[in-house]
Chain A
Amino acid sequence: MATQKKLILDTDLLNVTVNRLCQQLIENHANFDETVILGMQTKGVHLAEMIHEKLEQSLNKHIDLGHLDTTFYRDDFRRRETPVKANATNVPFIIEDKNVILIDDVLYTGRSVRAALDAMIAFGRPRKVELLVLVNRKYSRQLPIEPDYVGSEVNTIASQKVLVELMAQGHSKNKIWLINKEDQ
């Protein structure tokens, strides 16, 4: 097996991308009075925290940030070899009638986002939900789900993988890789 790695985003480029995503969010949500942010466990939470910090700095106000775990809502439980480990959900506010920005690192089949939409409903009926992802893997969706805000788009095939390494997880630098696994 020859493994090829291609760098999609590094620390500097990620910074530029996150700044741009924040600007887009401010354009659409103005002062965030009616908007809350939900990061999807686990890596979506790190990204959500980065975006949340920047937004609070630029707007100079408090914005609600929650962590959403989708494990108990997945549709592949009892269908995969090893179950996914559950993480903490922490949504200390009501999302009823709010605009929700759902944040994840990579959008691939769309199944995690479907589970997240289910998980979210337990905390109320939002007015509107938008999806922000750092990497959008195009042409790989299994459900009719598309992102509203995209950091970077890549064309991938099933044998490829997007690897997200973030400093918040203990890596020395922020790096997003496209990994190619080919048979020799």
Chain B
Amino acid sequence: MSQLSQKHLLGIKNITRKDIDLIFETAKNFKEVINRPIKKVPSLRDVTIANIFFENSTRTKLSFELAEKRLSADVVNFSSSGSSVKKGETLLDTVNNILAMKVDMVVMRHGSPGAPHFLAKHIKANIVNAGDGTHEHPTQALLDTFSIHQKFDTLEGLKVAIIGDILHSRVAISNIFALQKLGAQVMVCGPNTLLPKYIKSLGVKVELDVKKALQWCDVANVLRIQLERQQIKYFPSLREYSLYYGIDRKLLEQLDKEITILHPGPINRGVELNSDVADSDHALILEQVENGVAVRMAVLYLLAGVGTS
């Protein structure tokens, strides 16, 4: 297998285990590339990529842009603030206008779940979902699981707990799919109000007590409280959340084993994660960022190679 089964990366749900293995293998080679003195390869020199961001993003956008540039692709950026979207243009019109300028791939973040799936039905270019509302964020899940894979060599049988705001998290959903496809056991943990009603139907364990979740897992992926997506109050205050769900060194020292901590960023220090954990050897957080570029290079490279002959 040297080719992905899909023309787009819309979500982890749509791809196979073999696809993930191929992405990991390719990402490993790109990780070596980005650690060279000359970090660039000419693979995508005839490819133009549009980064279309209808929602705010710092690290994902930067990471995609770096990945594209390291692959020698031509890059155009678009963010909805200050664009014609504000004048009432539809999503399809906006994207078709950009594609008329001969763009081969679209990396899109959108506030509405399913927006990239809608686009995939209407346009020819390869589409990479960089986050669609509270639905999926496939490249984040790939880089999280790749980081775990790099440390443990396999995810088969590994116990991974996803802790925090599961309800509003596209990272959680994509991670659950990716972890399960790679053979890991998954637990979600958070206050009842921040757990989706039907989460059990995804085949994950549910735990309300963070200490029990940490005691159970080998790896904890700690998510940010997404205040910007919360229209009503799901918990009394951040202080109270931090008291019951915040992870600090003291809590980790009470466990009878060492666990690995992941966080997709940006961290709310002192809320879900204390600095004494975030900056410790337990945390893979900065490695996740490094791996993010390699994984995104692999995704873009492999998608560019699908069905082009």
Contacts and interface: CB of A to CB of B under 8 A. Distances in A.
Interface stretch (A14-22, A69-77, A169-177): A69-77
Interface string B271-309: 000000000000000000000000000000110110011
Contacts of B301: 72
A85 B28 CA distance: 12
Contacts of B32: 88-90
Interface in A40-94: 69, 71-74, 77-90
Interface string B17-43: 000000001101100110011101111
A30 to B, nearest CB: 29
Contact of B29 (A73, A79, A86, A123): A86
Given A72-B43, A72-B301, A122-B38, A86 B309 contact: no
Contacts of A90: 32
A123 B36 contact: yes
Nearest to A115: B42
A78 B41 contact: no
A118 interface: yes
Instruction: Bin chain B's interface residue count.
Output: 20 to 34
B36 A122 contact: yes
B308 A79 contact: yes
A118 B42 contact: yes
B3 interface: yes
A77 B43 contact: yes
Among A71, A79, A80, the most chain B Cβ lie within 10 Å of the Cβ of: A71
B42 A81 contact: no
B253 interface: no
Nearest to B39: A122
B299 to A, nearest CB: 13
A82 to B, nearest CB: 6
B222 to A, nearest CB: 32
Interface of B: 1-3, 25-26, 28-29, 32-33, 36-38, 40-43, 46-47, 301-302, 304-305, 308-309
24 contacts: A72-B42, A73-B42, A73-B43, A74-B43, A77-B43, A77-B305, A78-B47, A78-B305, A79-B308, A83-B3, A83-B302, A83-B305, A85-B1, A85-B2, A88-B28, A88-B29, A89-B32, A89-B33, A90-B32, A118-B42, A122-B38, A123-B36, A123-B37, A124-B37
Q: Which 6 A-B pairs have the closest CB atoms?
A: A83-B305, A85-B2, A72-B41, A78-B308, A122-B38, A81-B309
